[in-house]
Amino acid sequence: MEKPFVYADNAATTNVSDNALNTMLPYLKEQYGNPSSIYTLGMDAAKAVLNARRQVAEALGAARPSEIFFTSGGSEADNLAIKSAAEFGAKNGKRHIITTNIEHHAILHTCEYLENHGFEVTYLPADEDGIVSAEQVENAIREDTAIVSVMAINNEIGSILPIEEIGAVCRKKGVLFHTDAVQAIGHQHFDLKNMNIDMLSLSGHKFHSPKGVGALYVRTGTPLESLIHGGAQERGKRAGTENVAGIAAMGVAISDAVECIDERNIRLAKMRDRLIDGILSGIPYSRLNGGRERRSAGNVNISFRGIEGESLILALDIKGIAASSGSACTSGSIDPSHVLTAIGLNEELAKGSLRLTLGDGNTDEDIDYILEVLPETIKRLRSMSPMWQRICREEGIPDYTV
Ligand SMILES: *Cc1c(COP(=O)(O)O)cnc(C)c1O
């Protein structure tokens, strides 16, 4: 029998769909022109970029394609949005930024950079479900607030933040609102011409286009300052020869992603719930991180007492399961996830977390397989874990692994 392989890390990245791949291939081979060239080969490439811009605008319900600026991905889009707003804000004496303490590092580290350059940042604390309210945002807005940035869906715990309400508050107060919607494309409906969102980041590789391509939506009338200077590409806002193949692929991938949002969410939520219920009932001393309401359809994040996340990921890899953990090994030391600690987990639980994120490629058989492998893997790791044995001893828990 072939060794099973279950990919359960769709929040980290996704495979390129056949449709996206077939769309991009001609631009790597015979249609390799530079979109800035005026002969036919170049104009054909320019047409592909234009067409993708229309597709992205349409998928998001943007008022016009010119509101879409292609970037190298989600991180660049986040940087562009925040740094541009900061620069314009500073010109008007506005040096205050509002965000949350559960954002992706592309936002948090950009804010830290700006703090070192004379800006003040308010990090709104998420509650234990990973939600930040519009009221929190409203109370934090000041005269000198340049931008509010709140993510649409958290990448670790799948919490769905109330960005429509937050946008409405920002509009009322006349403050720019940006959302990192990288995890929301294909899971949430956007109709940007009727929403109070001024800027929105997305990344192609989270919805079946290649890595290294993304976009920033910028509502008409919103000032935008360039980060990358050079040629006049992207209406002078983002220099550099366009990633034509990647952009073309992302155009079809986002059209595909928004075509069946409701069906996808229903299918994924069923698998997610079976996984959550199966793990919580089948594995003692496990807990769900984040709430069950307002949770993205494919996200499972569970902590196990007495478990070290990275060992669990490696043990699951041997069994053919690709997943991730909230503990990230940064330069040799294992740091617990900032999101899990933000929602109140102690270091032990944050480090003992497992994130399984489901996508279009997953099946009911994948869930069966995870539910078969995970309990025995946790039991085996615990039986070898001094941390687990200490917990049993100190808390008087009977050790079921012996
Ligand atoms: C993946 C991700 C990003 C970064 O996108 P890249 O294209 O990998 O740079 C930013 N924000 C969130 C929420 C993400 O999940």
Residues 6+ apart with CB under 8 A from 361: 7, 10, 14, 15
Tokens of 83: 């740094």
Measure 160 CA to ligand 1 centroid, in angstroms. 16
Mean pLDDT of 67-92: 98
Tokens standing for residue 400? 């079921």
- Mind listing the pLDDT tens digit for each residue in 332-346? 567 899 999 999 999
With a cut of 90, say whether residue 315 has pLDDT above it: yes
Name residues contacting ligand 1 (CB within 6 A): 73-75, 78, 104, 106, 151, 155, 180, 182-183, 203, 205-206, 214
Query: What's the rounded mean pLDDT across residues 249-273?
Result: 98
* Same-domain status, 225 and 281: no
* Full domain range(s) for residue 310: 6-12+261-395
Q: Is the pLDDT of residue 330 over 70?
A: no
Are the CB atoms for 157 and 339 separated by under 8 Å? yes
| 288 and 250 belong to one structural domain | no
Nearest CA to ligand 1 atom 5: 74
In a 13 Å sphere around the CA of 123, the CA atoms on its Cβ side amount to: 15
- Cα–Cα distance measured from residue 245 to residue 221, given in angstroms and rounded to the nearest whole number: 29
Domain assignment present for residue 401? The answer is no
Contact 11, 206 (CB under 8 A): yes
Neighbouring CB atoms inside 10 A of 18's CB total 9
The secondary structure of residue 172, as a DSSP letter, is: H
Residues 218 and 336 in one domain: no
* Contact status, residue 125 vs residue 140, Cβ threshold 8 Å: no
Mean pLDDT for the stretch of residues 248-275:
98
382 contacts 312 by C-beta, under 8 angstroms: no
Tokens of 252: 């079809």
- Cα 74 to ligand 1 centre (Å): 5
pLDDT band for position 2 (cuts 50, 70, 90): confident
pLDDT at residue 3, rounded to an integer: 79
Mean pLDDT of all residues belonging to the chain:
96
| Residue at 402 is within a domain | no
**CATH number of the domain within which 280 lies:** 3.90.1150.10
**Going by C-beta distance under 8 Å and a sequence separation of 6 or more, which residues neighbour residue 267?**
297
Q: Is 209 annotated as a binding residue?
A: no
> Are the beta carbons of 309 and 292 closer than 8 angstroms?
no
Task: Say if residue 107 is in the same domain as residue 197.
Answer: yes
Domain boundary among 257, 288, 313: 257
> For the chain, how many structural domains are there in total?
2
Tell me: do 246 and 204 sit in the same domain.
Answer: yes
Alpha helix locations (H) across 229-260? 244-259
Ligand 1, residues 16, 108, 182: which to mutate, most atoms within 8 A of Cβ? 182
In angstroms, what is the span from residue 182 Cα to ligand 1's centroid?
6
| Residue at a domain's end among 199, 230, 257 | 257
Distances (CA, A) of 117 to 103, 112, 113: 20, 9, 7
Nearest CA to ligand 1 atom 6: 74
State pTM to two decimals: 0.97
Nearest atom (ligand 1) to Cα of 76: 9
Residue 355 backbone zone (phi > 0: left; psi -120 to 50: alpha; other: beta): beta
Taking the CA of residue 203 as reference, the ligand 1 atom at the shortest distance is: 7
Statement to judge: residues 218 and 272 lie in one domain = no
Question: 294, 297, 299: which is closest to 268 by C-alpha?
Answer: 297
Instruction: Give the pLDDT score at 335.
Output: 84
Q: Which of 201, 230, 257 is the last residue of a domain?
A: 257
pLDDT band at 327 (very low <50, low <70, confident <90, very high): low
Instruction: Give the dihedral of Cα atoms 207, 209, 211, 215; nearest 10 deg.
Output: -70
Question: Which of 394, 389, 387 is closest to 352 using CA atoms?
Answer: 387
Helix axes 261-282, 244-259, angle to 10 degrees: 80
Helical (H) or strand (E) element with 68: strand 68-71
Q: What pLDDT score does 322 carry?
A: 98
Share of the chain above pLDDT 90, in %: 97
- pLDDT beyond 70 at 400: yes
145 plus 58 within the same structural domain:
yes
User: What is the side-by-side order of every strand in the sheet holding 176-180?
Assistant: 68-71, 214-218, 199-203, 176-180, 145-149, 96-100, 120-124
Q: Known binder of ligand: residue 74?
A: yes
pLDDT digits (tens, 9 = 90+) for 130-139: 999 999 999 9
Q: What is the pLDDT of residue 1?
A: 63
Q: Is the pLDDT of residue 74 over 70?
A: yes
Q: Closest Cα partner for 99 from 120, 118, 116, 117?
A: 120
Q: 93 and 99 in contact (C-beta within 8 Å)?
A: no
Do 169 and 61 belong to one domain?
A: yes
Establish whether 75 is an annotated binding residue. Answer: yes
HSE-up (13 A, CA, CB side) for residue 126 = 30
Q: Is 243 annotated as a binding residue?
A: no
Percent of the chain residues topping a pLDDT of 70: 98
- pLDDT for 328 equals 58
* One domain for residues 248 and 273: no
Residue 400 belongs to some domain of the structure: no
Nearest in space to 123 (alpha carbons), one of 146, 101, 145:
101
pLDDT band for 299, please (50, 70, 90 cuts). very high
CATH number for position 134: 3.40.640.10
- Ligand 1: distance of its center to the CA of 205 in Å? 9
**C-alpha 313, offset from chain centre:** 20
* Cβ atoms of residues 353 and 327 within 8 Å: yes
Whether residues 43 and 151 share a domain: the answer is yes
CA distance 183 to 178: 14
pLDDT for residue 185 is more than 90: yes
**Per-residue DSSP letters for 357-390?**
E--TT--HHHHHHHHHHHHHHHHHHHHT-HHHHH
Catalytic residues: 329
274, 217: one domain: no
Atom of ligand 1 nearest to the CA of 73: 7
> Has residue 156 been placed in a domain?
yes
Distance 203 CA to ligand 1 centre (A): 6
pLDDT value for 133? 98
Are residue 178 and residue 54 in the same domain, yes or no? yes
pLDDT in tens, 353-399: 999 999 999 999 999 999 999 999 999 999 999 999 999 999 999 99
Q: Looking at the predicted structure, is the pLDDT value of residue 151 above 60?
A: yes
The annotation status of 155 as a binding-site residue, yes or no, is: yes
Which amino acid is located at 294 in the chain?
Answer: R
Task: Identify which of 338, 304, 305, 306 has the alpha carbon closest to the alpha carbon of residue 323.
Answer: 304
Question: Residue written as tokens 């078969």?
Answer: 372
The pLDDT of 274-289, averaged and rounded, is 98
End-to-end CA distance of the chain: 31
pLDDT over 60 (residue 329): no
